[in-house]
A = this chain, B = another copy of it.
Amino acid sequence: MAQRTRADALSRERIVEAAIELLDANGERGLTFRTLTERLATGPGAIYWHVPNKGELLAAATASVIGDALAVAVTGSPWEEIHALALGLFDAVEQHPWLSSQLAVQRSHSPWGSVTPRIFESIGRRVSALGVPEATWFTATSALAHYIFGAAGQNAANAQVLRLGGTDRAEFISAAVDAWEGLDPGKFPFLRSIADQVREHDDREQFLTGIDLILTGITAQGRT
């Protein structure tokens, strides 16, 4: 076949874009070099000319989505801006559930690669604006970042199962809680005691309450 014309020429960006679409549509397993070459109407060699390997492709997809989430303009008090940034990340991971495991994998290959520093920078700037002592900035920002990663990961996990499983949220939570209640009551008394709270909670609201818990701790500790 002849070479591509300018209009449909391959580029790193077009490849990353197609990869994100495949990941969104079918999860992690949806992205293979077969599905990717099919969608881009090309061969594996063409992709390898633009991207060194699959790991880098996944890293680029992750960086792209996280970058977009952090790029939204936020204005308000530092506390409000932290809310907005955290919620942006939370929503991004919910819309792209493959981020859940991908963030872990990316970090395990290069922990201080591109994603972690960008999140630290965005959150940390607002932490420093809270008026707490400079000596606490790093630890405070770490705590927020870790919480955001952890909570977003759990939420993405839920979203992934809901998306691929076809059940709705209420059903899904009911089934999980019912499963606990079937567990040995002697072994899981706490889970049973919070069953009603789990049934009634709102994920985003709870996520923000967690942020507030940490911010309260940060500002309280800063005043000691």
Contact = CB atoms under 8 A, between A and B. Distances in A.
Interface of A: 97, 100-101, 103-105, 107-112, 116-117, 120-121, 124-125, 128, 134-135, 137-143, 145-151, 153-154, 156-158, 160-161, 176, 179-180, 183, 187-191, 193-194, 197-198, 201, 206, 209-210, 212-218, 220-221
Given A117-B180, A143-B213, A157 B108 contact: yes
B111 A157 contact: yes
Given A143-B214, A150-B145, A150-B153, A128 B209 contact: no
19 contacts: A97-B108, A100-B107, A104-B104, A104-B157, A108-B156, A108-B157, A108-B160, A109-B161, A111-B176, A117-B180, A128-B193, A134-B193, A138-B197, A143-B151, A146-B153, A146-B210, A147-B150, A149-B149, A149-B153
Nearest to A137: B194
A128 B190 contact: yes
Copies per complex?
2
Contacts of A153: 104, 107, 146, 149-150, 153
Nearest to A112: B176
A-B interface, 6 closest residue pairs, ranked by CB to CB distance from nearest = A150-B150, A146-B150, A213-B217, A217-B217, A149-B150, A143-B210
A178 to B, nearest CB: 11
Contact of A206 (B116, B142, B154, B220): B142
A103 B148 CA distance: 16
A12 to B, nearest CB: 21
B105 A188 contact: no
A139 B206 contact: yes
Between A101, A117, A147, A188, the greatest number of chain B beta carbons within 10 A of the residue's beta carbon is seen for A147
A151 B206 CA distance: 19
Nearest to A108: B157
Contact of A110 (B111, B120, B121, B161): B161
A139 B124 CA distance: 24
A213 B206 contact: no
Contact of A121 (B117, B139, B190): B190
A84 to B, nearest CB: 17
